[in-house]
Amino acid sequence: MKLGTLVDLIAAESFVSGEEIASRLGITRTAVWKQVGMLRKLGYQITAHPRRGYHLAGRPDKLYPWEVGKDLSTQLLGKTIEYYDELPSTNRRAKEILGTAPEGTLVLAETQTAGRGRLGRSWHSPSSAGIWLSLILQPSLAPAELPKLNLLAAVALSQTVSDVLGLRPLVKWPNDLYCQNRKISGILTEVSGELGRLEYVILGVGINANQKVTDFPADLQEKAASLRMVTGRLVDRKLLLRNYLQVLEAEYFYALEHGFDRCLSYCRKYTATLGQQVEVNNGVKVYRGKAVDIADDGALIIDQQGERSRVIAGDVQPLPNTGAKEEHDA
């Protein structure tokens, strides 16, 4: 019996008797009692009244698969969910199950002990404060299109936050989202495949939802923020995640069918980097100049005194004394 079914049954009415649950689920009353005990251990507040039965008084703030999957209207993303209380890294776990897990599988962890950023950097992932997720995709795209997929994931998240919280984070090319000049999300796409073909893409997304400033390590307190810090409200992680999966899937399907033009034009509109004097380090070379455009292949175009360069991937730092674009309202 699925625990989610039992939660739904108890939640459907203000009280439901053990007898009724037993007959609806075709199990014994002792089994009901045991399962209710399990739900309580998972953090559900279930009270028992001698004559009226069980009552659901509260749900835990956990991304249990049956909670995330409830009312999720996607066709692919999150149809299979692997959920963990703790993992080293959801991207690492997704890599382990490539080939056996169906496309669209979502790996979630309440906390990561070795969350990864790009280039071996780490991602701070405290328990139940954010959304730490990886999705397994098998897009029919050439490897050169990967930067656009990264941008698509960022744009879809910006759109989702705008829809759900009424605040529009800006994309910091190529993989971050910023609110009030602080990083609220980072994206790490990893691939496996042969030359010329993307077999699998692991799309890893970290979203700072409910941290307080003191939840961040000292070196991040000036640079990072959570959506709660920005809005002043606790964020419903399940709602945000469900909406993200829906928006992301719609954008992903659209791009696979019609190309990335729509995503790129959103991206140009909501990119913090454009119009700024920046320094971009792609690991080989450092470019200094004005970020003027995002090209049709997702590259950042830098104007260095009239000479234009294209950068496919790298770290962007705004140069001092340049006005940063502010967030727009939704």
Site for ligand BT5 in 269-298 (CB under 6 A): none
Sequence-ordered strand ranges (E) for 113-220: 130-137, 170-172, 176-179, 182-192, 200-208
Using rule CB under 6 A, residue 174 touches ligand BT5? no
Using CB under 6 A, pick the residue from 123, 178, 260, 266 that binds ligand BT5: 123
Cα separation, 241 vs 239, in Å, equals 5
Nearer to ligand BT5 (CB atom), residue 106 or residue 141: 106
Using CB under 6 A, pick the residue from 4, 18, 65, 117 that binds ligand BT5: 117
Using rule CB under 6 A, residue 173 touches ligand BT5? no
Q: Which stretch binds ligand BT5 (CB under 6 A): 96-104, 115-123, 193-201, 253-261?
A: 115-123
Using rule CB under 6 A, residue 204 touches ligand BT5? yes
Using rule CB under 6 A, residue 171 touches ligand BT5? no
Cα separation, 94 vs 197, in Å, equals 19
What is the DSSP pairing of strand 81-87 with strand 106-112? parallel
What residue type is assigned to position 155 of the chain? V
Nearest to 179 by CA among 168, 190, 163, 189: 168
Nearer to ligand BT5 (CB atom), residue 74 or residue 90: 90
Using rule CB under 6 A, residue 187 touches ligand BT5? yes
What's phi and psi for 253, nearest 5 deg? -60, -40
Nearer to ligand BT5 (CB atom), residue 69 or residue 186: 186
Cα separation, 61 vs 4, in Å, equals 15
Cα separation, 163 vs 157, in Å, equals 10
Cα separation, 291 vs 280, in Å, equals 9
Site for ligand BT5 in 127-146 (CB under 6 A): 132-134
Cα separation, 99 vs 263, in Å, equals 29
Burial of residue 86 (number of CB atoms within 10 Å: 0-12, 13-18, 19+): exposed
- Please report how close the Cβ of residue 18 comes to ligand BT5 at its closest, in angstroms: 40
Measuring CA to CA, how many Å separate 114 from each of 90, 121, 195, 307?
9, 10, 29, 41
Using CB under 6 A, pick the residue from 157, 179, 188, 247 that binds ligand BT5: 188
Using rule CB under 6 A, residue 116 touches ligand BT5? yes
Using CB under 6 A, pick the residue from 24, 55, 59, 118 that binds ligand BT5: 118
Nearer to ligand BT5 (CB atom), residue 4 or residue 88: 88
DSSP of 62-114: ---HHHHHTT---SSTTSSEEEEEEES-HHHHHHHTTTTSPTT-EEEEEEESS
Using rule CB under 6 A, residue 91 touches ligand BT5? yes
Q: Which stretch binds ligand BT5 (CB under 6 A): 44-52, 53-61, 191-199, 204-212?
A: 204-212
What x/- string results for residues 7 through 46 when contact with ligand BT5 is judged by CB under 6 A?
----------------------------------------
Q: Which residues bind ligand BT5 (CB under 6 A)?
A: 89-91, 112, 115-119, 121, 123-124, 132-134, 175-176, 183, 186-188, 204-206, 208, 220, 224
